[in-house]
Amino acid sequence: MSEPRKKTALIGGGVIGGGWAARFLLNGIDVNVFDPSDSAERTLNEMLSNARRAYSKMTMAPLVQPGNLLFFDSLENAVQDVDFIQESAPERLELKRSIINQIDQYASETVLICSSTSGLKPTLLQAEMKHPERFMVGHPFNPVYLLPLVEICGGEKTSEDAKLTAAEFYREVGMKPLILRKEIDAFIADRLLEAVWREGLWLIRDDVASTEELDDAIRFGFGLRWAQMGLFETYRVAGGESGVRHFISQFGPTLGLPWTKLMNVPELDEELIEKIVLQSDTQSGMYSIRELERIRDDNLVAIMQGLKLHDWGAGALLKEYEERLYQKAHSGIVSSDQDFSKPLSLFDAEVLPEWLDYNGHMTESRYLQVFGDATDALLNYIGMDEAYRSGGFSVYTVETHIRHLLEIAGGEPLTVETQLLGLDEKRLRIVHKLLHTSSGDELATGEHMLLHVDTEARCASPFGKKLYVKLEKIWLGHQNLTVPDYSGNGIQNLKSIS
C-alpha cells in the first residue's frame, strides 16, 4: 500500500515561494498557497511552466503524478490539514515574525514550519511562538525547483528531531539539506556570497572592472571549479601531492596582502591549519591527487559540454574553439587540381575508455558519434562553417544506416574514409567506412542521406553556391568510384546471416 499523499502550505508565492511550489508539485505533493498579491497566481503558474520544461530536460526517469495546486484567500485556511509549511514572505523581521506567529496559531501543533529567510536568525523569528520547537530556517537558492541546496538552521528552541525530520522531507524532493552546526546570521552560503558581492562592489566603484567583467571572471574561471568541487577540495588539488597543507603554506601569507578590501581575517595559526588539514583529509583523503584531478577534469568537461548545448558562457567559448579546430583541420578550400579519384580521409579518432561497453568494446552509440563527427568534418571541409549557418542555412541528416562488422577495443586508432554516392541541388548521399588505422580492417560502415535546409523557413532549400561548387568538384571524381554493394540496403534477412 502506497503512503498517503503529502500536502504543504506555502505562505508567500513570489520568486522563492513559487519555486518551492514548483518543486513540491513536480514531486507529487499537493500545495496550498496564500499570497495577498493580485499577480501571485499568474506569476506562480508561469514559473511552474518553466519548471516543467526544466524537469523534462533534467532527467529521463519517469516523473510522479504532479500534486494539486490550490490558492486560498486567507492564511488560516491555507495551513489547515497540511503536513509541512514553508514561509517565504518579504525579508523584514517584524513582518515575518507576525506571519510565523499566525501560522503557529492556526496550524496543527505537530506540523513543521520552515522559513525561507536568507539571513534572519531563527531565534528572532520564533521568539513569540507557542510551539517554537517545530520552527527552523529552510533557506533555499533560486531557482528553488532546480538548485538542490537547502540550509537548515534551528533556533535556540528548535528540537533536533524537527531538524532531522525537515531534512528528510527536503531530501525526498531531491534536495541536499545542510544542517548548520551553529546559529549564525546569513548562515553559510550567503556569507560566502556576501564576501564576493562586497569585493565586487569595491572593484566596480574603483573602476577596476565592470559588472560583465566580474561575471566573466566567475563563469569562465573559479565558478566552474566551485560547481563541481567547492572551495577547499579545489585547494586540496591545487596543493599537489602534499595536499591542502602545502597549499596553505604557499598562499596563506597572502591573507596579509592587500588583495581584498575585507582584511578582517583569522590568523592561520597551527591550530587552524591542523583543523583544515584534518577536515580536508576526512572529506577527500580516500582519493589520491591524481584521482581527484581526473574527477575534476571529467566534471569540468561535462559542465562545459552541457553549456555548449545552450551556446552559453564557457560552453559558447568551447563551441568557438571547436569551430577553429575544424577550420584548421579542414580549410574548406577544394582546389581545382585536387585528386578526388579516391575517398576523402577527413576524420581520425581513438577509442576512449568511456566509449566501451560491458564487453570491453566500443559501444554502438559511439559508432554513430564517430560517423556524425566524420559528417561534420565533411561539412566543414566544403565550407559549412559558423558564418554559413548564421545565415540561416544548415545540413540535416534525414536517414542513416549503420553496419557493425568488427569489434574494436579501447585505445585503438580509427580513421574514416568518406565517399560521395549522390548529389542534387538539395541533397547529398554519403557513405563512411570506419577503418582500423593500423590494420586497415573495415570495422563499420555508415550510409547517410543529408538535406540542405533553410532553418528559418524550416524547409529544404538548394545548397548555397559556396557549398555546391565544392561538392560538385568532389562529385566529379567520386561518381567514378565503385558504389558499395550494400549501398541502399536495409536490415539483412536472418537467413543471410551466417
Query: Which whole number is the average pLDDT over 428-434?
Result: 97
Query: Which whole number is the average pLDDT over 371-396?
Result: 91
Give the three cell numbers for residue 216. Answer: 566573466
Task: Give the span between the Cα atoms of 312 and 291, in whole angstroms.
Answer: 29
Angle at 82 between CA 78 and CA 84, to 5 degrees: 105
Task: Give the span between the Cα atoms of 54 and 347, in whole angstroms.
Answer: 35
Residue 1 is predicted with a pLDDT of 42
Task: Give the span between the Cα atoms of 374 and 369, in whole angstroms.
Answer: 9
Bridge-based pairing state of the strands 459-460 and 442-454: antiparallel
- Does the pLDDT of residue 387 top 60, yes or no? yes
Asked which of 245-259, 450-464, 480-494 is least confident by mean pLDDT, the reply is: 245-259
Residue range 113-129, pLDDT digits in tens: 999 999 999 999 999 99
Whether omega for the bond prior to residue 122 falls within 30 degrees of 0, making it cis, is no
- Does the pLDDT of residue 6 top 50, yes or no? yes
Residue range 127-155, pLDDT digits in tens: 999 999 999 999 999 999 999 999 999 99
Residue 319 is predicted with a pLDDT of 85
Binned at pLDDT 50, 70 and 90, residue 369 comes out as very high
Residue range 295-319, pLDDT digits in tens: 888 888 889 989 988 889 998 898 8
Residue 486 · residue 464 · CB < 8 Å: no
